[in-house]
Structure 1
Amino acid sequence: MRRGWVVRITLVAPAVSAALRQVRFDDAPPDAAGVRRAAAAAAALPHHDMAFTAPSDACRGTAAALGLDAAVMPELRDLDVGRWRGRSLDEVGQEAPEEVAGWLSDPAAAPHGGETLLELVERIGAWLDARREDPAPAAPAAPARDARLLAVVEPAVVRASLVHALGLPAPTFWRLDVAPLTATELSGRAGRWNLRCGHPLAGSAP
């Protein structure tokens, strides 16, 4: 990135869905209430030059309800939980409590056969740092000022972003709560990231 520039990335968590209500490792579009709250929050979105969304139904549905013309970014996909996908945390915990305990305590563990927490943080960190260097490499011309980006992503991606950006110990991931339709802002410059803590989008509260 050109010296003196700042890239600001606002991460928006998706609206409530059936999978979220059930604490299920699954993807589902926002439910009717979630769509209404997202639509009500659309006017409160911060100014942005470009918008992105993770490829899930939850994120794409939220982006649509927010009125965003968002490019789908496969790099921003949710944590891959392998064979646990489609099941609830309670179901897995009852069947394989030791696997769940190991997963929650060891960021290098992937008892589900999918992606480790460390791999998620590395993947999301690489996307963030690439945006700090070049906010829109596919754009025909570089932004004429500080770049402002917005991305609708799963709570796990928001958590991984914070762990990477702030250099937090990986287990901190599990102590970060990300509520539906909250915005978390990271600003990157001079090889570092700063955080503006998450806040609800106006109109999104139940």
Structure 2
Amino acid sequence: MKADDEIARLDNFALALSKDANLRGYIVGYGEQRLPPGDFLRRIYGYLDYLVNRRGVDPNLIKVVEGGNKEKMSAELWLAPKGAPPPHPISKMEVRPTSPLKFDEITFGIGCESEMSVYLENVNDGLRFFARALRGNPQSQGLIIIYPKWREHLSRAANIARHTKNLLIRNYNIEANRLVAKVGKRRRDCAKSELWVVPTSSTMKLNPLTSRWQ
């Protein structure tokens, strides 16, 4: 769905909530197998952020319900009377990897932001969901890979990787010995951050030349 269509539907949803104080709103989101879980979470919580911070909806009147995967990512906007049970998704989101899982990837840099997106696109936005996944998988490590732009100094990418690791330690209480920060190969377009959940039982290793697990 195009961003302007999403915004129009969210605006109508906000209007409906504002007209009846006895209504509660729910955003029921479903991910997609090919999409990293963090990407999905930043999308549906971006809807919540838009409704609360741009449309002025009381955050106590609206909640996100995290569903599992469907053939394509989708979101349902539900209205329910106050006191009614929330809608039940047909499946629930679970992050329980048995092999290295790319939890999220975010491009960043000047000119790399979407013009009309309501998704959460800042690297810091993704860290809270990544930290939650690490806490939910205590027998795993978190791998941070920063891919710099083509002519960008590798030292800058290394600083970003270290800073990201420190944010997870300081702001989300993730143990330092569970986090690894690396710099990947240069990219021709925007810089990119990848966040991986790697089970400690996995024997796969990341090839730094190809950025593939083997």
TM-score bracket, shorter-length normalisation: under 0.3
Q: Taking CA–CA contacts closer than 8 Å with sequence separation of 6 or more, which of the two structures ends up with the larger relative contact order? A: 1
Q: Which is richer in helix?
A: 1
- TM-score of the pair, normalised by structure 2: 0.25
Q: Which is richer in strand?
A: 2
- TM-score of the pair, normalised by structure 1: 0.25
- Larger-gyration structure (1/2): 2
